[in-house]
């Protein structure tokens, strides 16, 4: 195992040993801040609550690149402490996305920052795994206008080193179906709200995905019921039922327009309220920096059939991509792990992106 492989493994293991479920990122933020202060100096780091903006390399009139990763994890169950077993590293966030954080840290500590052809910023932020409005990246972008001048933002979400372009937008809405209660022995005296909800759910089941192609990449629009609540006492016909519907929509429309489509589909069957509106992100497949990254050994290129914070950057005019070394299928899983070889390969991709001179628009 090479020195960099050892370092990546040890850094990831250290990160996974610090619990950071959403809302409890302070200790991990302290750890990353202390480490990067030691290697880069405190003047390079701005702390914003439990998030960090790290100005690793300042270059006037040079392309401005950002590496972006969230500190928080979801709460999952694990059979043991963070550990290495064979070619896998186990621990909460090992895939999503502390493998990406480890890559970011090792890059800025090992690259010759004085020789970089670009301005390089790292953003470590909190509360990504929760609602759109509570995600700390939004306030960071609102209060640091210099980040609006970035030429490219790379979000190191777990992708198995596959480059994923754009991001699906997401609407969550609560649909409330009203009926009339009655004794369950005499249901004809009431109006069962669950049947009304079931009829609408059946409509959604029969809808085919709507395929949208942008820049040669496919985005599939889908509406999915994800949560159902209804009823009270078990011998009472429910007078109300609630269904959460998640609409994933393609770039090219606003979240408000997507919600309006869902509201029109529901019509007068129910009351409807939007609970979370997240914008979509364009793929920017022809961007020269994204084209260069494609040539650096990524494990294929496809559209992102989900939402990520790439969409936040797109909203302020900054092209972005998803590319991270974590094992994507392990995100949010019990006994989460990531493949160590993928982390080593991911580091090499980013090293080539910054240092390979041939056909590199950074130079």
Domain of 242, CATH number, reads 3.30.70.360
What integer pLDDT is reported at residue 1 of this predicted model? 65
User: In total, how many domains does the chain have?
Assistant: 2
Q: Phi and psi (nearest 5°) for 153?
A: -120, 125
Q: Answer yes or no: is 181 within a domain.
A: yes
Q: Cα–Cα distance between 68 and 61 in angstroms, integer?
A: 22
Residues 13 and 110 in one domain: yes
Q: Print the domain residue range for 326.
A: 3-167+281-355
Q: Answer yes or no: is 362 within a domain.
A: no
- Residue among 251, 264, 96, 73 at smallest CA distance from 170: 251
Q: Which residues is 84 bridged to in the sheet?
A: 89
Contacts of 90 (CB under 8 A, 6+ apart): 16, 78, 80, 82, 83, 84, 335, 336, 337
Structure tokens at 42: 């405190």
Residues 163 and 174 in one domain: no
Contact by Cβ (8 Å): 247, 173 = yes
Q: Answer yes or no: is 361 within a domain.
A: no
**CATH classification of the domain holding 302:** 3.40.630.10
Residue 142 designated active-site: no
Catalytic residue among 106, 119, 128, 160: 128
Residue 128 designated active-site: yes
Structure tokens at 29: 């933020």
Residues 33 and 59 in one domain: yes
Q: Cα–Cα distance between 240 and 211 in angstroms, integer?
A: 34
Q: Answer yes or no: is 360 within a domain.
A: no
Query: What is this structure's pTM?
Result: 0.93
> Any idea which residue has 């880069």 for tokens?
40
Q: Answer yes or no: is 349 within a domain.
A: yes
Residues 122 and 17 in one domain: yes
Residues 299 and 230 in one domain: no
Residues 203 and 159 in one domain: no
Q: Answer yes or no: is 142 within a domain.
A: yes
What integer pLDDT is reported at residue 204 of this predicted model? 98
What integer pLDDT is reported at residue 179 of this predicted model? 98
Q: Answer yes or no: is 291 within a domain.
A: yes
Residues 119 and 260 in one domain: no
Task: Please identify, among 252, 278, 304, the residue that sits at the C-terminal boundary of a domain.
Answer: 278
Q: Answer yes or no: is 303 within a domain.
A: yes
Residues 129 and 273 in one domain: no
Residues 346 and 335 in one domain: yes
Task: Please identify, among 278, 311, 341, the residue that sits at the C-terminal boundary of a domain.
Answer: 278
The predicted-structure confidence for 199-227, as pLDDT tens digits, reads as follows: 999 999 999 999 999 999 999 999 999 99
Residues 135 and 195 in one domain: no
Catalytic residue among 25, 50, 72, 314: 72
What integer pLDDT is reported at residue 52 of this predicted model? 99
Spell out the per-residue pLDDT of the chain, length 363, in tens: 689 999 999 999 999 999 999 999 999 999 999 999 999 999 999 999 999 999 999 999 999 999 999 999 999 888 889 999 999 999 999 999 999 999 999 999 999 999 999 999 999 999 999 888 999 999 999 999 999 999 999 999 999 999 999 999 999 999 999 999 999 999 999 999 999 999 999 999 999 999 999 999 999 999 999 999 999 999 999 999 999 999 999 999 999 999 999 999 999 999 999 999 999 999 999 999 999 999 999 999 999 999 999 999 999 999 999 999 999 999 999 999 999 999 999 999 999 999 999 999 999
Residues 286 and 270 in one domain: no
Q: Cα–Cα distance between 261 and 225 in angstroms, integer?
A: 15
Residues 258 and 128 in one domain: no
């Amino acid at each position: 195992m090479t020195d960099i492989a050892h370092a990546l493994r040890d850094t990831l293991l250290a990160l996974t040993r610090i619990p950071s479920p959403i809302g409890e990122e302070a200790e991990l933020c302290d750890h990353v801040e202390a480490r990067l202060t030691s290697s880069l100096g405190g003047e390079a780091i701005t702390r914003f609550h439990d998030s960090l903006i790290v100005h690793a390399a300042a270059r006037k009139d040079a392309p401005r690149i950002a590496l972006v990763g969230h500190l928080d994890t979801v709460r999952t169950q694990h059979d043991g402490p963070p550990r290495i077993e064979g070619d896998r590293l186990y621990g909460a966030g090992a895939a999503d996305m502390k493998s990406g954080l480890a890559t970011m840290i090792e890059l800025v500590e090992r690259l010759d920052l004085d020789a970089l052809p670009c301005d390089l910023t790292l953003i470590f932020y909190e509360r990504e795994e929760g609602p759109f409005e509570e995600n700390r990246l939004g306030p960071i972008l609102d209060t640091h206008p210099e980040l609006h001048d970035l030429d490219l933002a790379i979000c190191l979400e777990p992708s198995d080193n596959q480059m994923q372009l754009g991001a699906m937008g997401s609407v969550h809405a609560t649909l409330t179906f009203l009926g009339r209660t009655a004794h369950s022995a005499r249901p004809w005296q009431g109006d069962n709200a669950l049947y009304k909800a079931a009829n609408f759910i059946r409509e959604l089941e029969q809808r085919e995905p709507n395929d949208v192609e942008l820049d040669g990449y496919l985005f599939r629009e889908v509406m999915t019921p994800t949560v159902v609540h209804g009823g009270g006492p078990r011998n009472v016909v429910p007078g109300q039922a609630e269904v959460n519907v998640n609409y994933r929509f393609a770039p090219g429309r606003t979240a408000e327009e997507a919600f309006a489509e869902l509201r029109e589909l529901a019509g007068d069957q129910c009351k409807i309220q939007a609970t979370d509106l997240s914008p979509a992100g364009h793929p920017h497949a022809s961007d020269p920096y994204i084209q260069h990254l494609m040539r650096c050994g990524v494990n294929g290129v496809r559209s992102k059939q989900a939402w990520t914070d790439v969409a936040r950057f797109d909203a302020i005019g900054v092209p972005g991509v998803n590319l991270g070394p974590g094992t994507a299928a392990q995100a949010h899983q019990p006994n989460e792990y990531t493949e160590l070889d993928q982390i080593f390969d991911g580091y090499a991709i980013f090293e080539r992106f910054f240092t390979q001179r041939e056909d590199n628009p950074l130079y």
